[in-house]
Structure 1
Amino acid sequence: MLKSRRSTLPFSYLVPYNSRPSLPRAVSTPLFRTFRPPHTDRSRPFTTTAYSSTGHWSTAAFAAIFSSGAFVFYKNHKAAEGPAVPSKHIGSDLQEEEIALMSGTPLPGRPGNLTPDQEAKLQDFWVALLHTFGVPDLADGDHTAVTNSSTDHVKESTDTIASDKQNKKKSGGLFGSKKGKDAKHGGLNGASVVEGEDKFELPPEQLRQAFWSMVKHDNPDALLLRFLRARKWNIQNALVMLIATMKWRMAEVKVDSDIIRRGEAGALEDSQSADAKTKRDGHDFLEQMRIGKSFLHGMDKEGRPICFVRVKLHRAGEQTESSLERYTVYTIESARLLLHDNVDTAAIVFDMTDFSLANMDYAPVKFMIKCFEANYPESLGVVLVHKSPWIFQSIWKIIKGWLDPVVAAKVHFTKNIEELSQFVALEHLLKEMGGKEDWDYKYVPPREGENEKMKDEGTRERLLEERRGVVIEYETTTQQWLSGHKKVEGRRRDLTEKLGAGYWDLDPFLRARTFYDRTGIISPGGGIDFYPSRKKAEPVANGGPIPAGHVDEGVD
């Protein structure tokens, strides 16, 4: 019988599932100080330095943040250096990514394009993660025991869960249903922090629940690989980063249980509240949506979705800090729905036309550095800063010093439409920027009844139960894969597709409709149509291939 991969790992590598690790403690405890990934060169001293990474949803993060005028800084730099054209990226990794995008093959370091060492790192990451979640070895007994244990824990603690303004509604989590009066609104990640516990401390079953909630329609392997790449394939650092992200999503920002679940309709409700602060936050959030400070539209020449940011529409102090942060996370999560395996990064175009110092705002930059650098890794494909004024030269030099060289290499400055069109086809650039696309952003507000399915608790719970079963089978199959059973790889791929399709079945019961749902960019079942106003024979499906450099045949 093949030996389990878990048994080959140093004991100090495995994070005890009942230790409830926190980010600061994880870096300082003897457990992590003695950890050495299985594939490190033992001839070299081992360190636990946390690497800087800005990527993943920094893409959209930058969008909302730059919309705040924050990343206006970028734009300044190359205005002084002269016109920018698509430069040769620094480093072989970026060159390989460009080649892969053009050929349509999986990008390096992604599922389907891993070196033997990278696949071994991915497997070791899964070992550590499943152990952290408290998932028992196949030899330890029934895999479902952890689910029953998790459910019992959640049910026992529902009476002490901190209540919020939605505490009268009921929603089941992926691994447990909370039916107490004070149960939080959570959908897939309905588990909440128990009152009296440190908000940075979550039990293993809640970390597990937060992870599968975060996966959504994504490939679980692809999600883990983002964190591995962001931490230079250091398993320990990637694990610490991932755990911190799950806690941030569930306990601090409440991404799925609040921001995504309530959405624009929730902001509209808040804007009519009797509470002054709630009313202001709701109004300010919607105002940014109404004016189109930033929006997702179309794709660049590599097939990446684009977030356009009109920096001139931001004025420091016009919106509350909390509404800016909420808007940023909302934009990021909306953009994330447009990604898939073949195109897993996005592009940002910062339109600096008519920019002035009044548009500058440092607070969003601080928020981005604090939250998005760690929580949305490896999603930034390219940042295009268009028509930046010369006054930002010195600021750019400072900001550039904060960035990882790989990230800084993705920032390009364009002075005119000819230079910008080297990254985005003229047919996909708006006329207001000098392009050929006759399209204007016009906000479509929430419609009455558009979130009616979210009230259907029976269907939601049935679909959640189905997803629980798929998750358990995926974890079991993953354990078999870790033990060396190559024959299960096909079944594991099938389960990955089933998880993705199952998410879109659940989506209308968990996520409030967005502007992008109302305008046809996101259609029921996860279909993605970047140009819904044009007639197409068949929309591009989320999860299906989008050819690199694809251009719609219906362009005038």
Structure 2
Amino acid sequence: MPAPPGHLGNLTPEQEAKLREFWAVTLKVFGVEDPRQATEPDPPRAQDAVSELDVKEKEKSKKRLGIFKRHKDKESSNGSATPTKDPSRYADSDDKYGQVKEFQQILVTQAPESLRDTFWSMVKADHPDTLLLRFLRARKWDVDKALVMLVSTMRWRSQEQHVDDDVVLRGEGGALEDSKSSDPSIKREGEDFLAQLRLGKSFLHGTDKEGRPLCFVRVRLHRGGDQTERALERYTVYVIETARLALRPPVETACIVFDMTHFTMSNMDYTPVKFMIKIFEANYPESLGAVLVHKAPWIFQGIWKIIRGWLDPVVAGKVHFTSGVEDLEKFIPRSQIIKELDGDEDWEYKYAEPVHGENDHMKDEAPRDSLLTERDAHVREYQKKTYEWISIGTGPDMDKIKEERHALARKLNENYWKLDKYVRARTYYDRTGMIGPDGEINFYLPPPGEGQNEDLKPTSPETLPDVPKVEPSVDDVD
């Protein structure tokens, strides 16, 4: 499957120039200096090796890099980079989530090294270029806007949601531990997180015709107030981060199926809807391939008018309404549509509880630290090679340097999957084998208690949260 336009492996010269420009300002924000400038002057380059595009790009880069130069006498006490120009001049009407203001605050208050660490933690198994390209495409190749979005996302991950040092690090096992806490608030958070997994409020299974992972959301299982807002947010982030691990190039997006069967107004809750919209637009750009709203009753029409008004037009254009299995077949092969949705695949979601000792590797500090040291060396080499790539532009050695960068990206990917068990708590998808220990993905393994997962016990009915039976009503019509 070829890479889509604007994606890694299918960039125009202009788009690649934008990517180099984006890397230049990003590394500057991270406090990563060009080692060539620190040790030796740039070697002379033949005039015919420099394209007109390179000249234009270098002029723009000089201007942009000036934004992030440190004042010798104005550096903040924590070593943060103080911009020499006001980034708010880049604000415009599409700053929907106030990211420009966040950007200003972050550059003044947060050390460049912490931003660098957050970024490389966010990369995980991705190719670093792939991650930056998401932000560039989302901001229509405007480097300034993409940088604001990226830096704001790093703050959201590290300071607001604590994605890598809490949600991913502790995961389901941490929630189970919290559910036994003597602190009522901690206990509630743990119970609420697990309740959504046990119910199967949403789950990942299979792929659509484009090879995109499918995420099914059973809207009827949600009732406002059943879980705390924080537990809902943690669960949403957990599902998205898990889905990220299942993406394999050239597939970079997922398909979400909102199953509206037996939907009633008691299932409608605008708060988590707004949260999902915000993070997909602001923090996980270019992650949605398609959204299928299946069997929505007529009462949803008015609700959809409200929700559509909140959506970016590009995101709204990815929403499709389906009313039967024939409609779903336009997106998913019938053989891969689960029987719950009248398809042919005989598969049913059954949760399996965390297994005792499944996260013991996370206690092994020596191998973890060794792999982190190895990863840091790869990162530093990648940054160095990226500066070479930025400098060479479209010169004669470009292909060689590009391949060297890709080779380092592959090393980072391999390193991540060795490191994964030391930094990420095991999930339902690890237990059932969808995510293999080496990063191999298998979307079509049997549920707990069946086939090769027969030794994995599904959650007992006594443990499942109580869900009232919903009978079809006059509202439940297509």
- How does the TM-score come out when normalised to structure 2? 0.77
Amino acid in the other structure paired with 2:371? L
2:364 is aligned with what amino acid? D
Q: How big is the shift at 1:372?
A: 3.6
Q: For 1:282-301, list aligned pairs within 5 A.
A: 282-301=190-209
**Residue 322 (structure 2) pairs with residue 409 (structure 1):** no
Query: Which position in structure 1 is the counterpart of 2:21?
Result: 124
Shift of 1:370: 4.0
**For residues 265 and 107 of structure 2, what CA distance do their matches in structure 1 show?**
38
Task: Say which of 438, 441, 445 aligns to 1:525.
Answer: 438
1:502 partner amino acid: N
**Match runs of 1:202-351 below 5 Å:** 202-351=110-259
Unaligned runs of at least 5 residues, structure 2: 41-76, 79-104, 453-478
Q: Deviations over 1:3-59 (max 9, x none)?
A: xxxxxxxxxxxxxxxxxxxxxxxxxxxxxxxxxxxxxxxxxxxxxxxxxxxxxxxxx
Separation (CA, whole Å) in 2 of partners of 1:303 and 1:351:
20
Q: Does 2:267 correspond to 1:359? A: yes
Amino acid at match of 1:306: L
1:369 Cα shift? 4.0
1:508 partner letter? K
Amino acid at match of 1:305: P
Q: 1:503 aligns with which of 380, 398, 416?
A: 416
Any conservation in 2 of the 1:315–1:360 contact (CA below 8 Å)? Answer: yes
CA shift in 2, pair 1:426/1:209, >3 Å = same
Do 2:280 and 2:287's aligned partners in 1 also have CA atoms closer than 8 Å?
no
State how far apart, in whole Å, the 2-side matches of 1:219 and 1:514 are. 23
Percent identity over the alignment is 59
Residue matched to 1:110: 7
> For residue 33 of structure 2, what is the aligned residue in structure 1?
136
| 1:393 paired to 2:301 | yes
- Tell me, yes or no, if structure 1 residue 476 matches structure 2 residue 373: no
Task: Write out per-residue CA displacement over residues 324-363 of structure 1, whole angstroms, 9 at most, x where no aligned residue.
Answer: 1110110110111111221100001111111111100011
TM-score by length of 1: 0.67
Question: 1:199 touches 1:252 (CA, 8 Å); kept in 2?
Answer: no
CA contact (8 A) 2:175 2:191 kept: yes
Letter in 2 for 1:419: D
Q: Which residue of 2 aligns with 1:448?
A: 356
Runs of 4+ in 1 over 4 A off after TM superposition: 197-200
What is the one-letter code of the residue matched to 1:109?
G
Taking a change above 3 Å as real, the CA distance of residues 118 and 141 of structure 1, as seen in their structure-2 partners, is: same
Q: How far apart are residue 142 of structure 1 and its match?
A: 6.6
1:248-277 deviation digits (Å, cap 9, x = unpaired):
111111100011000000000000000001
- In 2 relative to 1, CA 142–354 (structure 1 residues): closer, same or farther, beyond 3 Å? farther
Contact 2:176 2:190 in 1 (8 A): yes
CA shift, 1:198, in A, is 8.1
| CA distance, structure 2, for counterparts of residue 287 and residue 355 of structure 1 | 19
Task: Give the residue type in structure 1 aligned to 2:164.
Answer: D
1:397-425, CA deviations, whole angstroms, 9 ceiling, x for partnerless residues?
22222222221121111111111111111
1:238 counterpart SS class: helix
Structure 1 pair 368/432, CA: closer, same or farther in 2 (3 Å)?
Answer: closer
Query: C-alpha distance in 1, partners of 2:106/2:187?
Result: 29
Contact 1:228 1:234 in 2 (8 A): yes
- The equivalences for 1:534-553 within 5 A come to none
Which one of 481, 484, 492 corresponds to residue 405 of structure 2? 492
Letter in 2 for 1:258: D
Kindly provide the CA deviation profile for residues 414-459 of structure 1, in whole angstroms up to 9, marking residues without a partner as x: 1111111111111111111101111111101100110111000011
Q: Deviation per CA, 1:371-400: give whole Å up to 9, x if none.
A: 442110001000111110011212212222
Secondary structure of 2:357's partner? Answer: coil
Alignment partners' CA distance in 1, 2:39 and 2:247: 35
Q: What is the match of residue 345 of structure 2?
A: 437
Amino acid at match of 1:108: P
SS at match of 1:464: helix
CA contact (8 A) 1:201 1:247 kept: no
Is the 8 Å Cα contact of residues 200 and 251 (structure 1) preserved in structure 2?
no
**CA 1:112/1:257 → structure 2, altered by over 3 Å: closer, same or farther?**
same
Q: Distance in 2 between matches of 1:250 and 1:400?
A: 30
Per-residue CA distance 1:149-199 (angstroms, 9 max, x = gap) = xxxxxxx99xxxxxxxxxxxxxxxxxxxxxxxxxxxxxxxxxxxxxxx989
Task: Tell me: CA distance 1:343–1:200, structure 2 relative to 1, closer, same or farther (3 Å).
Answer: farther
Measure the CA separation in 2 of the matches of 1:213 and 1:493. Answer: 18
Larger RCO: Structure 1 or Structure 2 (Cα < 8 Å, ≥ 6 residues apart)?
1
Q: 1:84-133: per-residue Cα shift (whole Å, max 9, x none)?
A: xxxxxxxxxxxxxxxxxxxx111111111011111110000001011111
CA–CA distance in structure 1, aligned partners of residues 122 and 28 of structure 2: 18
Distance in 1 (alpha carbons) for counterparts of 2:12 and 2:31? 29
Equivalent residue number for residue 173 of structure 1: none
Number of equivalenced pairs = 382
Q: Distance in 1 between matches of 2:406 and 2:438?
A: 20
Task: State the distance in 2 between where 1:461 and 1:142 align.
Answer: 30
Q: CA 1:345 to 1:452, structure 2 compared with 1: closer, same or farther past 3 Å? A: same
Question: What letter matches 1:133 in structure 2?
Answer: F
- The CA distance in 1 between the partners of 2:379 and 2:312, in whole Å, is 35
Q: For the aligned residues, what is the CA RMSD?
A: 2.0
- Cα distance in 2 for residues equivalent to 1:356 and 1:257: 37
Deviation at 1:200, TM superposition (A): 8.8
- Give the aligned residue type for 2:139: R
CA distance in 2, matches of 1:483, 1:379: 31
